[in-house]
Amino acid sequence: MALKVGSPAPDFTLPSHLGKPVTLSSLRGKNVVLAFFPLAWTPI
Amino acid sequence: MDTQVLGISVDSVPCLTAWAEDLGGIHYPLLSDFWPHGKVAQEYGVLRSEGHSERAIFVIDRQGIIRYVDVHNIDDQPSNEVLRRAIRRIDPTVRDRPEATKPEPVALPRGGIVMYCTRWCPDCKKARAWLAEHHLPYTEVDITTTPGAAEQVERWANGNRTTPTFDIDGEIVVDFDLQRLRQVLKLK
């Protein structure tokens, strides 16, 4: 089951294709759209 | 908009890099949830038993709280407009930006062999090799960059963006269907 509206977003640090790792909690103060997509070569 | 978009999948970084390049560059980060495999997808409850994630959108507000969740039909792309509405609802201070206007469809080439394709699809590569081998001249239409081309293919291919699809002097051949191609082109 997907997390529900109102839950705190679990923090993570992941490598990115732009070279620098991204940490979710470092983006506090911004709205974040986190878009999960199944696999590359499929539309995001 | 004061909003950061993050794409995330279980693909490896080299795979995401190759894909982003193929799409002509993606300016927001694509995150690799590759190892431990799908850990973040699992924490958000969107890891499927096949080992990849759902197509899902979470909007997280400035305090780190999830304010919008959309688990989408895996074959559909969520629309940007729906997302913008969701973001504005939770944060009215974000600036409004008009949706980029869709480019007008251009006149698609006709006559001879016209192949609707993408740069990367494996069957398109096979089709190019086959056409070259038979010394057949053709025109390529990249459906990812030509306005109106993908919609045209959808009309021919029962709503699917099948590539390659051929328009050979008005005869449509969906997919790299050698038997049909030989027939339409009157090859032995």
B150: in domain: yes
From A18, A20, A37, residue closest to B9, measured CB to CB: A37
Partner residues linked to B60 by β-bridges: A32, B66
B157: in domain: yes
B66 touching A (Cβ < 8 Å): yes
Q: Which two tokens stand for residue B174?
A: 């969906």
Q: In what order do the strands lie in the sheet with A31-36?
A: B30-32, B3-9, A31-36, B55-60, B66-72
B24 and B74 share one domain? yes
Average pLDDT of the residues in B18-32: 84
Instruction: Find out whether B69 and A2 touch, Cβ atoms under 8 Å.
Output: yes
B121 and B68 share one domain? no
Average pLDDT of the residues in B51-79: 87
A13 touching B (Cβ < 8 Å): no
B153 touching A (Cβ < 8 Å): no
Domain that holds residue B152: 113-184
A2 touching B (Cβ < 8 Å): yes
Q: How many CB atoms lie within 10 A of CB B69?
A: 19
Instruction: Give the CATH number, domain containing residue B23.
Output: 3.40.30.10
Q: For residue B123, give how far its alpha carbon lies from the nearest alpha carbon of chain A (Å).
A: 14
Q: For residue A6, give how far its alpha carbon lies from the nearest alpha carbon of chain B (Å).
A: 5
B71: in domain: yes
CA torsion angle B153 B155 B157 B158 (round to 10): 150
Residue B90 banded pLDDT, cuts 50, 70, 90: confident
Residue A21 banded pLDDT, cuts 50, 70, 90: very high
pTM: 0.60
Q: Annotate chain A with three-state secondary structure.
A: CCCCCCCECCCCEECECCCCCEEHHHHCCCEEEEEECCCCCCCC
CB contact under 8 Å between A31 and B61, yes or no, is: yes
Residue B96 pLDDT more than 70? no
B14 and B84 share one domain? yes
Reported as a single tens digit per residue, the pLDDT across B109-134 is 999 999 999 888 889 999 999 999 99
Q: How far is CA B3 from the centre of its chain?
A: 23
CB contact under 8 Å between A2 and B6, yes or no, is: no
B12 and B55 share one domain? yes
For residue B120, what pLDDT is reported? 82
Give the number of domains in chain B. Answer: 2
How far is CA B125 from each of CA B43, B108, B133, B166, B187, rounded to the nearest angstrom?
39, 21, 12, 14, 20
